[in-house]
Amino acid sequence: LKDIEQDLAGVLHTEEELHARLEELAREIERDYEGRSILLVGVLRGAVMVMADLSRALRRDVEMDWMAVSSYGSGTTSSGVVRILKDLDTDLTDRDVLIVEDIIDSGLTLSWLQANLRSRGAASVEICTMLRKPDALKVEVDVRYCGFDIPNDFVIGYGLDYAERYRNLRGVAVLAPHVYASADD
Ligand code: PRP
Ligand code: MN
Ligand code: MG
């Protein structure tokens, strides 16, 4: 995107790399869920790109539903307390649920969400995330499918935002420090 080139410190994963990795994960998922129906649960808003691409990489039928959650507390630090802004419309009883996320950062959102969905009587609740930051993890999260482990930098694109911007960048890039440094002025 021409108008944000100066905001990027470098590209971490190109669109082609993301898609190739999703194809690999899709083959694993097809094998693991053979003979069972799948409910993909996307976490708004970051997961929309992964959901769109993963679901179409799968050579089988899936259902899709969406949740929106929000961490209490200030914008940049997660507290671990999560509130549901938009709940699922689907009954999870005996369902095989695969949560689809763009990134696991502290892990607080996903560990809470996985426990919450498990408590609804699902047969299984697994996680597929495009990105994970091992150095930022505050709680262990049981991740079944992970695209890439990445350094603890501020990353944007492919659904990931900074102040709601940059989500439509096709690859994943590191945000240049001058962008968020100047935001506090
Ligand atoms: C981001 C990201 C994950 C979550 C990961 O969402 O999309 O959902 O944070 O952080 P955690 O592992 O530290 O809990 P965000 O709350 O920014 O909402 P968004 O998806 O609408 O951007
Ligand atoms: Mn999110
Ligand atoms: Mg965000």
* 91-110 pLDDT, tens digit each: 999 999 999 999 999 999 99
Identify whether 36 is preceded by a cis peptide bond (ω within 30 of 0): no
Helices marked H in 122-181: 177-181
Cα(59)–Cα(82) distance, rounded to whole angstroms?
A: 34
Burial of 102 (0-12, 13-18, 19+ CB in 10 A): buried
Return the residue matching tokens 């129906």.
Answer: 37
Residue 183's pLDDT is 72
Quote the ligand 2 centre to 9 CA distance (angstroms).
22
Quote the ligand 1 centre to 103 CA distance (angstroms).
7
Give me 168's structure tokens. Answer: 């439509």
Lowest mean pLDDT among 61-75, 137-151, 158-172: 61-75
Residues near 15 by beta carbon (within 8 Å), at least 6 away in sequence: 158, 170, 171
Burial of 91 (0-12, 13-18, 19+ CB in 10 A): exposed
* Nearest-CA residue for atom 2 of ligand 1: 103
Q: How far is CA 79 from CA 5, 8, 176, in A?
A: 32, 28, 26
* Nearest-CA residue for atom 22 of ligand 1: 46
Say yes or no: CB of residue 109 within 6 Å of ligand 1.
yes
Residue 60's pLDDT is 98
> What is the SS3 assignment for 52?
helix
Top mutation candidate among 69, 81, 104, 162 for ligand 1, by most atoms within 8 Å of CB: 104
- CATH topology for 16-152 is Rossmann fold (3.40.50)
Say yes or no: CB of residue 80 within 6 Å of ligand 1.
no
Cα(110)–Cα(113) distance, rounded to whole angstroms?
A: 5
Catalytic site residues? 105
Whether residue 184 has pLDDT greater than 80? no
- Ligand 1 atom having least distance to the Cα of 102: 7
Where residue 136 falls (left for φ over 0; alpha for ψ -120 to 50; beta otherwise) is: alpha
Say yes or no: CB of residue 126 within 6 Å of ligand 1.
no
The DSSP bridge partners found for residue 44 are 68
| ipTM rounded to 2 decimals | 0.98
Whether residue 78 has pLDDT greater than 70? no
